[in-house]
Structure 1
Amino acid sequence: MDFVFMLTRDDKTVTDCLDVLDVLDESGTGPTGTIGPISHIGFKDIGVDRGTLARLHRRIKDMGATSYLEVVSTTRDEALASVRSAVDLGVDRLMGGTWIEETLTLLAGTGIEYLPFAGDPHGHPTRLAGDPARIAADCRRAEAAGCAGVDLLAHRAADADPLALVRAARAATTGRLVVAGSITTPVQIAALAAAGVDAFTIGSAAFSGALRPDAGTLRSQLATAVRAAAAATP
């Protein structure tokens, strides 16, 4: 299972995101580094200016990582503006948003893989409305439209058990299933893997120290996530 490190806190890209990449470089993210391999890195298009986003994305690609932009806007115009930002930056994967047809039209010919939200995200930080039947229906719709998978805010669910949503999504799609938001423990990561999740994202939990409350460095938090992902991978 892949660990996607999001350079975000409270659904915004952290203002020192470039410095965080320096920490990854200094600590080592290769197989022999002190953190371990982090080959999936993402961000939001809010929190920092466009120039910083461009520099950030170049750095991520220079590190050899797969890049992600996650849409958190809940209005059509703002969400599609985020899609255009993803196209301008040239990210590898775009996650989030619910305007599937319009998004795929904007992404046509770019090679960017799209994973929309399943369910009804609302508010900021985002909460997820929708029962397992709604999640399954959205997953089927996304797959039929040609999306690469879905982005599921399972642990921000307002109406259902998170793992029930994950199982419904997994049964409804053969695409890539990414669970994002409010993942704070290795136990959660193991449960997601057992339910068939392909990848999970962590941002705020790493920056707040929630993954390993007894440790004080970002390096320790990330190492915990990397080890949990490796342990959950068959």
Structure 2
Amino acid sequence: MNTNPELIVMLTHNDRTVSNAQEIFEACKNSKARFWGFKEEPLPLEDMKRLYSVMKKCGKMTFLEVVAYTDAECLAGAEMAVECGVDVLLGTMYSDSIRELCEAHGLKYMPFIGKVSGRPSVLEGSLEEMIDEARRALEKGVYGFDLLGYRYAGDAAALNKAFVQAIDAPVCLAGSINSYQRLDEVKEASPWAFTIGGAFFEGKFGTSFEEQINAVCDYVAR
């Protein structure tokens, strides 16, 4: 989609939102990252709404990633995204009801692609199956896709690159981007965006949270 993928800072570790997410955002709101988000668990809804409101006031594009697989759980997560007023819903398994809900409330919908299970998530399936699935969803009007490439049971770098090349829509590479080698692979795949959460909490790109955000933003912009 572009030569400089956007970093989505996820205030999450092990696929769950950290308890001090707002404190971290407040400390890093002047970093170079424009895209911010977190998961649907375990913050109370009112805390989520408050944090998204602060993010929006700071001019950030906001994301909620819903790690759910049943119809009921996915729809509940989508309804949460609507209540929070986020810009983009990441995750859930695609459904017409979620797409219609997002369309009605002006949210961009980027569902998971492939066979996804567990938490932290695992991705399975063939490239061909994922491309076919994505094309069917695009015909129905989704905005793009949440590809858990580095949670894949096969060659993640090859999958990421081939999927992005095959799909004419925004792709977010999410999950386990935790090294400069993987950042190089992300740059080569050239998706619309990618997420980093846990790696920042584990100090994979430096020391302070803000320093790591800026280091990653600078690296992908080169």
| DSSP 3-state at the match of 1:108 | helix
Q: Identity, % of aligned pairs?
A: 31
The answer to whether the 8 Å contact 2:161/2:188 transfers is: no
List gaps (5 residues or longer) in structure 1. 30-36
CA shift digits 1:105-162 (9 cap, x unpaired): 222321110111111110111111112112211221221111111110000002x211
| DSSP 3-state at the match of 1:105 | helix
Partner of 1:202: 196
Shift of the alpha carbon at 1:178? Answer: 0.7
CA distance in structure 2 between the partners assigned to 1:224 and 1:75 by the alignment = 37
The answer to whether the 8 Å contact 1:156/1:182 transfers is: yes
RCO higher in structure (CA 8 A, sep ≥6): 2
The answer to whether the 8 Å contact 2:90/2:109 transfers is: yes
- Amino acid of the structure 2 residue aligned with 1:228: Y
Partner of 1:33: none
Shift of the alpha carbon at 1:167? Answer: 2.7
The answer to whether the 8 Å contact 2:8/2:35 transfers is: yes
CA distance in structure 1 between the partners assigned to 2:218 and 2:133 by the alignment = 32
Q: Which of 168, 172, 179 is the equivalent residue of 2:162?
A: 168
| DSSP 3-state at the match of 1:201 | strand
Task: Provide the aligned length of Structure 1 versus Structure 2.
Answer: 218
| DSSP 3-state at the match of 2:104 | coil
CA distance in structure 2 between the partners assigned to 1:218 and 1:138 by the alignment = 36
| Residue 16 of structure 2 corresponds to residue 12 of structure 1 | yes
For 1:1-234, what aligned pairs fall within 5 Å after superposition? 1-25=5-29, 28-29=30-31, 37-158=32-153, 160-212=154-206, 216-231=207-222
CA distance in structure 2 between the partners assigned to 1:126 and 1:185 by the alignment = 19
State TM-score, norm by structure 2: 0.93
Shift of the alpha carbon at 1:75? Answer: 1.8
Regions of 4+ moved over 6 Å: none
Shift of the alpha carbon at 1:223? Answer: 2.0
The answer to whether the 8 Å contact 1:178/1:199 transfers is: yes
CA distance in structure 2 between the partners assigned to 1:211 and 1:141 by the alignment = 37
Q: RMSD value over aligned CA atoms? A: 1.3
CA shift digits 1:54-92 (9 cap, x unpaired): 111001101100000011012221111000001111110
